[in-house]
Amino acid sequence: MVTPLASLAGGFVAVIMIARGEPLPALALVGLPLAVAGGLMASMEKAPKDELFGPDDAAAASARRTRATAGAGWALLSSAFFAVTVLLFVEASALHPVALAAYGRLGTMVVLVPVALLLAGLRLPRPLARRSAYAGVFDAAAFVALAAAISIGPVAIASVVVSQGGTMAALLGLFVLRERLSRVQITGVALTCVAVALLATG
């Protein structure tokens, strides 16, 4: 539930940019909703059997619903925040993409490092610290690519394509981890490929 809802950010930005009058080719108007739908479907995973056929008492069912509701709320909040991030990047697109990403990451550190020190500290086991460092490198690269895509435009197209994290994760799971995709995920990946082709053609 969480990943599909979080991937809606690109759709939110696209709607806002279209409402603001950003010109788009006709094929893009077909490709954008296809890309959003494909990303949502590719992000969906089957619930484990123990969650589907676990304890059937009212308390357990209520607890599952509560967790799902809380997760959905945070996912939508994440999607909204990322949409605002993209729109702020649009306003600062005169900066070089690397500088824009650097300022954004600096703002993240200013906000999150004091909070992390207050709540949990910054000590991590060495393997986790290494993985966190790698994640930071990829995060920085992702934001540089986002800033570059926004500076080139159109923003509506860039935001939807950038938010295809669920599709990318499904493909990595398929080819790297040898996971099996569900029919819904396969359909989502196929829709995304068609949508990207339409966007590129347009």
DSSP conformational letter for 8 = T
Q: How many domains, the chain?
A: 1
Six-digit token pair at 6? 């979080």
Any idea which residue has 């590719």 for tokens? Answer: 42
Average confidence (pLDDT) over 83-109: 90
Cα dihedral 144, 93, 103, 35 sign: negative
> Do 46 and 182 meet the contact criterion of CB atoms below 8 Å apart?
yes
- What's the pLDDT at 52? 47
- What's the pLDDT at 61? 55
> Do 188 and 39 meet the contact criterion of CB atoms below 8 Å apart?
yes
- What's the pLDDT at 144? 92
- What's the pLDDT at 68? 54
By residue range, what is the domain housing residue 102? 2-201
Average confidence (pLDDT) over 57-68: 55
Among residues of the chain, what percentage have pLDDT more than 90? 7
Residues in Cβ contact with 30 at an 8 Å cutoff, skipping those fewer than 6 apart:
198
Average confidence (pLDDT) over 83-102: 90
Average confidence (pLDDT) over 131-150: 89
Ranking 13-22, 37-46, 63-72, 107-116 by mean pLDDT, the lowest is 63-72
- What's the pLDDT at 141? 92
- What's the pLDDT at 109? 87
Residue 1 has pLDDT above 60, yes or no: no
